Amino acid sequence: MSIRRILTFPEPFLRETARPVENITGDTAKWIDDMAQTMYAAPGIGLAAPQVGLDQRIIVLDVAPDDDEEPGKDRGKHLIHVVNPVIVEADGETTFEEGCLSVVDFRAEVDRAARVLVRGWNLDQQEIEIEADGLLAVALQHEIDHLEGTLFIDRLSRLKRELYVKRVKKALREGRPIAQRRAASESN
């Protein structure tokens, strides 16, 4: 297992549509391990393969709150992975403040479906279904967006998005890193 570098906006690879996984192999298992380790190390609550430079439709999530007294104690216990995830049902509306490991130092409220039914595959080559509401429903939609090259900032008003884009461009122009400060525990 290894921790991979997380690509950040405006990296063009984050805008690509990811390829479906055609065969679930040892490589798939390794990629999922790497993604999980990278997500926990960040720390974040979800990660999509394109965020670590993999052209594959794979997502990992763990939205269970960490144990403050023993950080890392429950690590992996609530880990979810989905290969080739598809949203087959979505209803209701909810608004959550989202962050993203690929959108550094920025959080904003995003409107999404309140409940989703996601279908996909697991490493045992079984077809799986996940019915979710609350934070998990939001995180699933956020990660599946990544597979289409969509970032949460694309779902904001143009004004809000431009404020962030300008900030990133200015930082890049001045050759300084974008501030790393973020409430990372809920980034995905």
Active-site position among 98, 143, 148, 186: 143
| Residue 36 contacts Zn ion per CB under 5 A | no
Largest CA distance in the chain: 49
Closest CB to Zn ion among residues 24, 182: 182
Rg (CA), the chain: 16
Please give the size of the binding site for Zn ion, defined by CB under 5 A: 2
Question: Contact, 144 vs 113, CB < 8 A?
Answer: no
Closest CB to Zn ion among residues 83, 100: 100
Closest CB to Zn ion among residues 83, 147: 147
Query: For the purposes of burial, counting CB atoms within 10 Å of the CB of 119, is it exposed (0-12), middle (13-18) or buried (19 or more)?
Result: middle
Rounded to a whole number of angstroms, the minimum distance from the CB of residue 7 to Zn ion is: 10
Question: Contact, 133 vs 114, CB < 8 A?
Answer: yes
Closest CB to Zn ion among residues 38, 188: 188
Rounded to a whole number of angstroms, the minimum distance from the CB of residue 126 to Zn ion is: 26
Which runs of E-coded beta strand occur in 22-114? 46-48, 58-61, 80-91, 94-100, 103-112
Rounded to a whole number of angstroms, the minimum distance from the CB of residue 188 to Zn ion is: 5
Rounded to a whole number of angstroms, the minimum distance from the CB of residue 147 to Zn ion is: 11
Give the residue among 70, 75, 138, 80 at the shortest CA–CA distance from 110.
138
Q: ω into residue 20 within 30 of 0, thus cis?
A: no
- Residue facing Zn ion at closest CB distance: 100
In the window 50-109, what residues touch Zn ion (CB under 5 A)? 100
> Would residue 98 show up in a list of annotated catalytic residues for this protein?
no
Active site residues: 143
- Which residues are at the interface with Zn ion (CB under 5 A)? 100, 188
